[in-house]
Amino acid sequence: MDPVVVGISGASGSLLAQRSIEALLNRDMPVIATCSTAGRMVWQEEMEEPFGTTLARWNESPHFTYCPIGDLKASIASGTTPTAGMIVIPCSTGTLAAIAHGLSTNLLQRAADVCIKEKKRLVIVPRETPVSTIHLENMLALSRMGVIILPPAPAFYLHPTSVDDIVDYIVGKALDAIGLPGANEFMGGSLRYQRHSD
C-alpha cells in the first residue's frame, strides 16, 4: 500500500493535521509526514502537547515515517517514490504561493511539486481569511493544474456541537479528496486516535 504524504505548514489548524495523520494510522495506512519550522511554532501555540511528544507517539506505529523539513534527500523528494498523493493541512498562504510557483526551498514544497509533476493527487487545505487576490490567483493556478483546493469550511447543516465535530468533518473531506475509500465513514466523531495495546 502506497503511503499518503502529509505536509504541515505554519498556518492555524494544527489539530487538522494531527487528526488527519491519526485517522490514516487508525486505518493502518502508511503515512510519511513533514512539518515546517513555522508549523512547529504554530503547533506549540495551539496544541495541548508539544509537537515532539505527538511525534514520538506516532513513531510507535510501524506505518509512520517522519522526514525533517530540510531533508531534500528524503524519499518523497523524488518522483520515483510511489505514493498515494499528498495532503497539505493546514496550508499557509506562503506555502500555497511557493507550491503554485514551483519553488522547492524545503521538503514540503518539494514533495508537493513532485505530486504535481507526477500527476498524483494533491489536496491543499488553505487556512487564511479573508483571502486576497494574490491568494485566489495562486489557488486558481493550482486548481488548473489539477490540485484540489479544500478550504476548511464547516458544514453547519450537520449541526456540529463541538470543535471536534467540525475538525472530523474537514478531515473526512480531505481523506475523501485524496481518494481514500470509505473516508466519509470518519465524519461525525470517529476520528480519534486509537492506541493499540501490546
Cell digits for 79?
518522483
Question: Which of 37-46, 154-163, 178-187 is least confident?
Answer: 178-187
**Does 106 score more than 50 pLDDT?**
yes
Please give the residue range of the domain that contains residue 90: 4-186
In a domain, 192, yes or no: no
**Does 195 score more than 50 pLDDT?**
no
Q: What is the pTM of this model?
A: 0.92
In a domain, 193, yes or no: no
In a domain, 36, yes or no: yes
User: What is the Cα–Cα distance from 154 to 31, expressed in whole angstroms?
Assistant: 25
Q: What is the mean pLDDT of residues 42-57?
A: 97
Task: Give percent above pLDDT 90 in the chain.
Answer: 90
User: What is the Cα–Cα distance from 21 to 191, expressed in whole angstroms?
Assistant: 10
- pLDDT computed for residue 99 by the predictor: 98
In a domain, 9, yes or no: yes
Using CA atoms, how far residue 1 sits from 68, 160, 169, 181, in Å, is 23, 33, 25, 13
Q: How many domains does the chain have?
A: 1
Q: Mean of the per-residue pLDDT values for the chain?
A: 93
- pLDDT computed for residue 185 by the predictor: 62
In a domain, 195, yes or no: no
Q: Name residues whose C-beta falls within 8 Å of residue 170's C-beta, 6 or more positions apart in sequence.
A: 16, 125, 150, 152, 153, 154
Q: Name residues whose C-beta falls within 8 Å of residue 163's C-beta, 6 or more positions apart in sequence.
A: 15
CB 186 within 8 A of CB 18: no
In a domain, 172, yes or no: yes
- pLDDT computed for residue 191 by the predictor: 44
Q: What is the mean pLDDT of residues 4-17?
A: 98
Count CA atoms within 13 Å of residue 67 on its CB side: 22
In a domain, 17, yes or no: yes
Q: What is the mean pLDDT of residues 76-86?
A: 97
Q: What is the mean pLDDT of residues 24-47?
A: 97
In a domain, 60, yes or no: yes
User: What is the Cα–Cα distance from 52 to 44, expressed in whole angstroms?
Assistant: 10
- pLDDT computed for residue 117 by the predictor: 98
**Does 188 score more than 80 pLDDT?**
no
CATH number at residue 174: 3.40.50.1950
Per-residue pLDDT of 128-165, as tens digits, reads 999 999 999 999 999 999 999 999 999 999 999 999 99
Using CA atoms, how far residue 116 sits from 79, 111, 126, 141, in Å, is 10, 9, 17, 12
